[in-house]
Each structure stands twice: as structure tokens, then as C-alpha cells.
Amino acid sequence: MSDLEKITANREGFNLRARAHMQSSYYDVERFRQGHNMLRRLEREELGDVSGRSLLELQCHIGVNSLSLARMGAHVTGMDISDEAIDIARGLAGDLGLDARFVQSNLYDLPAVLDGEFDMVFTGYGTLSFLPDIAGWAKVAARYVKPGGTLTIVEIHPVLTLFGDVDGELRIARSLFQSRDVHHEMTKSYADRIADEVEVEKHSIYGWRWTVEEVVNALIDAGLTIERLREVPYDARQRLPLMVPDGDHNWRIPGDPIPLSFACVARK
């Protein structure tokens, strides 16, 4: 199967997930409607003050982060491959009277449908693993950053993806340098707590594992300057049964033994 066929399958899968995520505790759409800022701590810290800034969120899914940024005063554009997710994002913006626009596109085709440059480009948790070409992604992302502007990434740390939970203990289950392509047949989608996972019609999801090194070097090769790189021992959701909530809408492994998220800010 070609990368394009895998991307197309992911689009179909995320159309199913978008509908299901209206009932997900992770997206918590009703709480969002009531005014809650859906950005997690690391995202808020790395983005900083967005008021008055033009901002593009890549792979925005159903748009609750983009619309939270609009509430914070940013002039927001969100893009996603899922037409169902973009429809939901546009509907939320209209219902809540928030000024944001949304574009449906395969990320690699975005320059064909979206013009302009932005003060800030942002991509949040769980996006890079659905991209088969990290160098191509970096070139597209950098193309939208104004001179002097920033690209901010907040992502699942690839180290976390190597471990499994065996009888309450971390065990290495795979190599970061082998079996880089991922394929899963899914009947559930993610939520904050594993116990709250949302039922979804069976679908295929394809992914690719990237090291922090590969992500950072792709940004450098795309002409950006790395300003900051952070690794932290908390994540946006419970990915292993032994992870516990920390009281700040994040999840940790007791003892903080490994990094669970990383963030990178690069400037043009």
C-alpha cells in the first residue's frame, strides 16, 4: 500500500473518530462550549501570549484547540485532512460566535489551497505520527511562518511509544529504530482515561514513528532556527494503565522515569 493510500485510509478513519469525539472526555465538547480552554499546560506555556497574532494550527481535528486560541485573541486558521472534523470545527465556531476559519486538506497539499504566512504555526499532541514524510511536513510548515515568526510543536515523546504496561511495570515492547511503520485495526478511539475510550466503527489507522532528532533536523533543514526544546514527564492523556492524573489535566507515570511529551519552538 502506498503512502497516499494510507493517508486516504487515515482520513476515512478520522472522519469516523471526529463524530465519536463529540462524546470523548478528551475533547470534552460540552465543557469547551461553556468556556473552558482546551489547550494543555505544555501547549499554553510554549505558545505564550497569542493575542493579536495570526496563527495556523496544522492537523487541528475538530478545532477545540484552534477555537480556544481564538478565545485567547489569536486570528486563527485551522486545517485538517478530515472533512467531518472540519465541518464540526466550523459548526462550533458558528454556534459560539468565534472568529476562526477552517480548511480541509491533506497536509502535503495545503499550499495548493491556502495562501499567506502567519506569525505563529502550531501543531499539538498526536499529529506527527500520521505523517509519512517528516522532511516534507517541515517544508510545508516552514512555508507558512512569517520571517521572524515561530513554529511550535507539542507532541507525544517517541520514548513513550516504546513501552508497554506489564503487571503495573514499564517494559520495553519495541525499538524506536525498527518497525517504523505502524498499522492498527481500531474499534475504539482515545479519551483521557483508558476506561473512557469511545466506541468507533472498525477502521484502519496507519502511522510512522519519528525520533526527536529527525523532527528537529527536519526543521533545521527547512530553514528554521531552533530556539527551545523541552522534554517533560507528563502527557495529555492516559496511554498506559499505570499512568495517573496529576491534578493539572495531565497524566504521569509514578516516579517520572521517562519523558512523556516534548516541545520545540523554532523561528524563521
Q: pLDDT tens for residues 132-181?
A: 999 999 999 999 999 999 999 999 999 999 999 888 889 998 888 887 89
Q: What is the CA radius of gyration of the chain?
A: 18
What nine digits make up the cell of 45? Answer: 506555556
CA angle 52, 61, 134 (to 5 degrees): 90
| Per-residue pLDDT at 93 | 97
| Per-residue pLDDT at 167 | 87
Burial class (CB in 10 A: 0-12, 13-18, 19+), 99: exposed
Residue 74 has pLDDT above 80, yes or no: yes
Tell whether domain 3-267 is in CATH 3.40.50.150.
yes
| Per-residue pLDDT at 179 | 73
| Per-residue pLDDT at 191 | 84
Please indicate whether residue 1 or residue 120 has the higher confidence score (pLDDT). Answer: 120
183 Cβ neighbours under 8 A, 6+ residues apart: 204, 205, 206, 207
Residue 25 has pLDDT above 90, yes or no: no
| Per-residue pLDDT at 177 | 87
Average pLDDT over residues 51-58: 98
Residue with cell 472526555: 25
| Per-residue pLDDT at 45 | 97
Least confident of 1-15, 46-60, 161-175: 161-175
Residue 249 has pLDDT above 90, yes or no: no
Average pLDDT over residues 231-244: 95
Q: pLDDT tens for residues 80-101?
A: 999 999 999 999 999 999 999 9
CA angle 33, 37, 42 (to 5 degrees): 150
